[in-house]
Chains A and B, each alone.
Chain A
C-alpha cells in the first residue's frame, strides 16, 4: 500500500531560524514528488522533483529528493512569519493520483 510520512508534524521556530522538513514515501512506480505550501485555503505549488540528488531552489526555499532512500527534504532558511503554513509533500506514481502526506505545520514566531 502506498504510504507518505511527513515529519515533524508540527514545528515552532523563531524568525531567522533554518528548518528542515522531511517526507518519506512508498509509492508504486514512483514518478515525481511535489511540495506544496498551504496557508488558509488551497495549497500553492512549491517544487516538483523527479531526479535524485538535484537540488531545486527558490529564494530561501530548497528541496532535494533521494530516490534510493525514498525521501525528500524541504529546507527553509532565514524563516519569516510569512512562512507559517502547512507544508505538504505529494509523491505520485503511475496510478495517476497524488498521495499527500499529513503535512508539517510550521509556525514562525517573530
Chain B
C-alpha cells in the first residue's frame, strides 16, 4: 500500500507570495492533518480534515487555510508569506479522526523556504 505523499518536496518563495501544498493520504484513509515543524517551535498542529470538513484548527493565523477533496486528498494554502513561515510542513493521514485513537501516518513533508 502506498504511503502518504506530499508535493512538492521542496519550495522556495519570497515574502508576500502565496503557496499551495498538496497531500495524498493512504488509500482508504479519510482524515488528513497538517503540521508545521520548525526548530524553535517543534511540531505544531495546523488543522485536520475529515470527509471534506475541517474538524479542528490549531492556533495559526487566517493566512493558513486548507481544504479536502472528495477523494480525501488535501491542500494547504499559505497566503502573504512571511519569513517565519519557513518550515517543514507535514501531512498525516489516518482512518478516522486523530482524537479517536487512530494512528496517524506521516508523509515525507514539504520543505518551504521563504526568502
Contact = CB atoms under 8 A, between A and B. Distances in A.
Nearest to A44: B106
B99 interface: yes
A43 interface: yes
Given A31-B100, A50-B101, A95-B99, A41 B88 contact: yes
Interface size class of B (residues with CB under 8 A): 20 to 34
Given A42-B107, A42-B109, A92-B98, A100 B43 contact: yes
Interface size class of A (residues with CB under 8 A): 20 to 34
A95 B54 CA distance: 12
Which of A36, A42, A99 has the most CB atoms of chain B within a 10 A radius of its CB?
A42
A94 B56 CA distance: 11
Contacts of B56: 95-97
Contacts of A42: 90, 106-109
Chain B at the A interface: SS class: strand
Contacts of B48: 96-97
Given A88-B43, A103-B42, A93 B99 contact: yes
A62 interface: no
A52 to B, nearest CB: 14
Which of A31, A32, A41 has the most CB atoms of chain B within a 10 A radius of its CB?
A41
A31 B100 CA distance: 6
Contact of A41 (B42, B58, B103, B108): B108
A42 to B, nearest CB: 4
B55 interface: yes
A94 B96 CA distance: 12
A98 to B, nearest CB: 5
21 contacts: A29-B99, A31-B100, A34-B103, A34-B104, A41-B108, A42-B106, A42-B108, A45-B103, A45-B105, A45-B106, A92-B99, A92-B101, A93-B99, A96-B55, A97-B58, A97-B98, A98-B45, A98-B98, A98-B99, A100-B44, A103-B43
Interface of A: 29, 31-32, 34, 36, 41-45, 48, 50, 88, 92-103
